[in-house]
Structure 1
Amino acid sequence: MANNQLALDRVFHALADPTRRTIVMRLSAEPSAVGDLFQPMPMALPTLLKHIRVLEDCGLVTTRKVGRERICEMRPEALRETDAWLSQQRSVWEARLDRMEAHVLGLQEKENKNDKRKKRK
C-alpha cells in the first residue's frame, strides 16, 4: 500500500506542473522527439530535460534513443492507478453529497409540515 501511495504521490507531483501537463498532453497524441517538444517551449533545453526526467521517474513517460534523437512516449497505464484513486474519491464524495441532499430534503419536508400546521391554527 505504501508503495502505491508513493507512486500516486509522484504522479500528482509530476502533473502539478503546467509544463509537464503540456508535455503529457502532447505525448498523449503521439510520441515525440525531445527536439520537437522543445520547439514551442519557452525554456532552455536542460530545463525541459529535467521536466522529462520527472515524468520518467513517475512512470508517465518512457524515452528511447533512435539514432541521434531521444523519443518520448506516453505510458497511459501509469495513469490507471491515479484514475482508480480519483474514482474512489469521487464515489466517496458522491455518497456524502447524496446523504447531505437527503438530509436537506428531510429538513425541508419537516419545515413544510410545520408551516402547514401553523397555517391551520
Structure 2
Amino acid sequence: MLYVSEGQHKITLDAWPWSSYPNYINGPVYLLHGSTVLPLLAAIQTTPMIPFEDVYLTGICTEKVGIKTLFSSGPTSMLALGSLYSEYEARNYLAWNDWMSSLPYKKVDDLYRGTSDNVTASVQFHFRSNYSTFP
C-alpha cells in the first residue's frame, strides 16, 4: 500500500492522491465566523471525507470555498497549553482545559462578565495567515 504521509495523518494514496495537504488548523480549538457556516456546509456535502477532521474541515473544505485561515500569533492565543493561575493570564486566551487550571470558576465568570477587579485593560488578539512564520 502506498501512503501520502506518515505519522498522525497517514493516509493511502488511493484515499488522497495528492502529495500534501492544504494548510489546515491542527489542534483542539478553532473558531468559525458565522458567515462561513453555509459555504462550509456546501463544501462538506460535495467533498469526499477523509478520516482527519482538522485536515478535512479547516484545510480541504475551507480551501474549496475560499475561506481564509488565520492563526493566532504573539502573546495571545486561542488555546492555553499550560496551567492558568489568575484571570490576568486567562484574558490572553480564548480557551483552555479546565482540568489543567487552578483558576476558580467564579474568577473566570467575573472575567467574562467584565466584573473582575484585577483585569481592566483590553487585550488585542493578533492573527497571521501563514502558520509557518512565528512571531
TM-score, normalised via structure 1 length: 0.22
Q: Kindly indicate whether structure 1 or structure 2 has the higher relative contact order, using CA contacts under 8 Å at least 6 residues apart.
A: 1
Higher helix share: 1
Structure number with greater Rg is 1
